Amino acid sequence: MNKSETLSSLLKAMAIFQSKTESVEKSKDGHNYKYATLGKCIDAARPIMAENGLSVIQLMGDDGNGNTTMETVLGHSSGEYISDSCVIPIAKLSGGSASNPAQVMGASVTYIRRYAYAAILGLAQEDDDAGSATKGTPKHKEDDGKPWYNDSNYQVDLQGITGAIRSGTSPDAVIKEIAESFKVSNEFRNKIKSI
């Protein structure tokens, strides 16, 4: 691992980023399991990263022993950064694409990029149906098209939320009701649960 001399600004931005980021839905089927695509991971992270001055860069290289590597750099607008590198294993593909070296390398690079990207940001991936069943929260698909619950909404609702919770309504029930009209980030879920 490599890092800048200081990390305080980057770590503060990451704390905010992680409090606002939802788990990424595993929506792609492959090899008898589901996974979140690289595109889904990037789409989930990009707007919140931008708000907090964060960026991720992924660079291919060589370890000096003939192995192709991927370096993933998490940067902050302050100039602070953390990076790590890993060797890219060569994928074993089946079918017609297995004989094309470019497709084999492309599959390997995409696989490592997805895992390294999610790891450096702390992005969780969850099965949408299982996550919804265990958390009592609406499925992401049901959220599509809904606006995000924001600080203005929260300030307007705060007195009613507080009254409902103090009179015996569970925070999860309050969140579920809000989620009928809005997408609710972890930041606001945590605020409501702390009342």
Domain residue spans of the chain: 2-126, 129-193
Distance (Å, rounded) from C-alpha 69 to C-alpha 116? Answer: 12
Report d(CA 96, CA 167) in Å as an integer: 64
Greater pLDDT, 125 or 136: 125
Pair 73, 84: CB distance under 8 Å: no
Here the tokens at position 135 are 């958390």
The confidence score (pLDDT) of residue 126 equals 66
Which range of 82-86, 105-109, 122-126, 156-160 scores highest in mean pLDDT? It is 82-86
Q: How far apart are CA 52 and CA 46, in angstroms?
A: 10
pLDDT tens readout for residues 61-84:
999 998 889 999 999 999 999 999
Q: 137 or 19, which is more confident?
A: 19
Average pLDDT value for residue range 8-20 = 94
User: Are β-strands 33-35 and 54-62 bridged in parallel, bridged antiparallel, or unpaired?
Assistant: unpaired
- Report how far apart, in Å, the C-alpha atoms of 105 and of each of 6, 118, 153, 173, 175 are: 36, 20, 47, 48, 44
Contact 68, 62 (CB under 8 A): yes
Question: Is the predicted pLDDT of residue 153 greater than 70, yes or no?
Answer: yes
- For the residues 127-140, what does the mean pLDDT come to? 41
Q: What is 58-85 written as a DSSP string?
A: EEEEE-SSS-EEEEEEEEETTS-EEEEE
Q: What is the mean pLDDT of residues 41-70?
A: 93
Listed range (4-13, 129-138, 150-159, 182-191) with the worst mean pLDDT: 129-138
Is the pLDDT at 173 greater than 70? The verdict is yes
Q: Helical H runs in 86-136?
A: 101-121, 128-135
Q: What is the pTM of this model?
A: 0.60
What the block records as the tokens of 151 is 């600080």
Q: What's the pLDDT at 111?
A: 85
CA–CA dist 123, 42 (Å, integer): 10
2-126, which class in CATH? alpha beta
**Share above pLDDT 90 across residues of the chain, in percent, rounded to a whole number:** 34
Residue type, 20: K
Asked whether the predicted pLDDT for residue 137 surpasses 60, the reply is no
The three-class DSSP label of residue 56 is strand
Among 34, 37, 30, smallest CA distance to 123 is for: 37
Q: Strand 81-87 vs strand 68-76: parallel, antiparallel, or unpaired? A: antiparallel
Identify the pLDDT of residue 129: 40
Higher pLDDT, 30 or 82: 82
Q: Say if residue 165's pLDDT is above 50.
A: yes
Mean pLDDT computed over 167-189: 88
